[in-house]
Amino acid sequence: MRPTEILTSVAVLVALTASGCSTPESNTDTTTVAERPDSIVSLSPSATETLFAVGAGDQVVAVDSQSDYPANAPRTELSAYTPSLEAIVEYEPDLVIASDDIGGLVAALGAADVPVLLLPAATSIDDAYSQIEQVADAVGHPDEGDVLVDEMRSRVDTAVAGVPARDATYFHELDSMLYTVSSDSFIGQVYGLFGLTSIADGAGSDYPQMSDEGVVAADPDFVFLADSQCCGVTVESVSVRPGWATTTAVREGQVFAVDEDMSSRWGPRIADQVESVAAILGQN
């Protein structure tokens, strides 16, 4: 058990700093978190996946509209982007888990005596492991959380060890407007496990926008498309973009569609994401 992460049977309003620090801080406004909350509302797709992975699915009464995994999660019209206090409290939650304090959500729920576990976007894989353990502790499944993280670590280590590290570059496409990721971003760190470097490094942002000309000039060895599901971008459509046919990725058939949800969430499927990258690199 992690002493700094024991959130059960204590009077606290759990909040992590906006920087993504993985150590919980007590807020001056306190509410009581039940030892095993049985009416949980999740406004975070990553938290939703974690709750079900640690065996707390039967404690979840509602999840937000973006929480589409697993399929049996009680998906609702609740919005994590424009959260409605009235809509949330209708579910009579004894714990709400969110990734952002939008519109003063934490204070509003605190005033309604609803405890909140606020977990900002993980900034590293280790941070994601820590958040999984925090969620498991908060909902009364600490042992399951420990087991899950141990399994994830083992799977990640095995996947990385199974593919020789390489000195190669990539472009990870978030949408058709050519927004991408740097090596310092969360998904960038996943690629970094295999020695890959983003062509967007040095752009001054973890999620910069590039141009066709910029991508062509950088000549990535790999292109990963995380916008096939949302936007219909295909491997074939990339090759007809202005100048893209000259890039190493297109010429050598190293353009791949990847699961956009796994690429944008920091929950239990991190291991799946690492294994999918390993499978791609293992064939090229």
pLDDT digits (tens, 9 = 90+) for 45-80: 999 999 999 999 999 999 999 999 999 999 999 999
Three-state SS at 83: coil
Residues 6 or more apart whose CB falls under 8 angstroms from that of 76 comprise 62, 63, 64, 65
CA distance 207 to 172: 10
The residue written with tokens 């752009």 in the block is: 203
Share the mean pLDDT of the chain. Answer: 88
Tokens of 231: 């936007």
The Cα 174–Cα 154 span in angstroms is 28
- pLDDT for 10: 27
| Beta-ladder partners of 169 | 197
Q: State the pLDDT confidence band at 4, using cuts at 50, 70 and 90.
A: very low
Task: Give residue 13's pLDDT.
Answer: 40
Domain span(s) for CATH 3.40.50.1980 in the chain: 3-154, 164-282
DSSP 193: T
Sign of the dihedral through C-alpha 196, 198, 202, 204: negative
pLDDT of residue 33: 59
Q: What CATH fold (topology level) applies to the domain 3-154?
A: Rossmann fold (3.40.50)
CA distance 86 to 173: 37
CA distance 100 to 18: 9
Both structure tokens of 284: 């090229």
Here the tokens at position 212 are: 């066709």
* Res 41: pLDDT: 98
**CATH code 3.40.50.1980 for 164-282:** yes
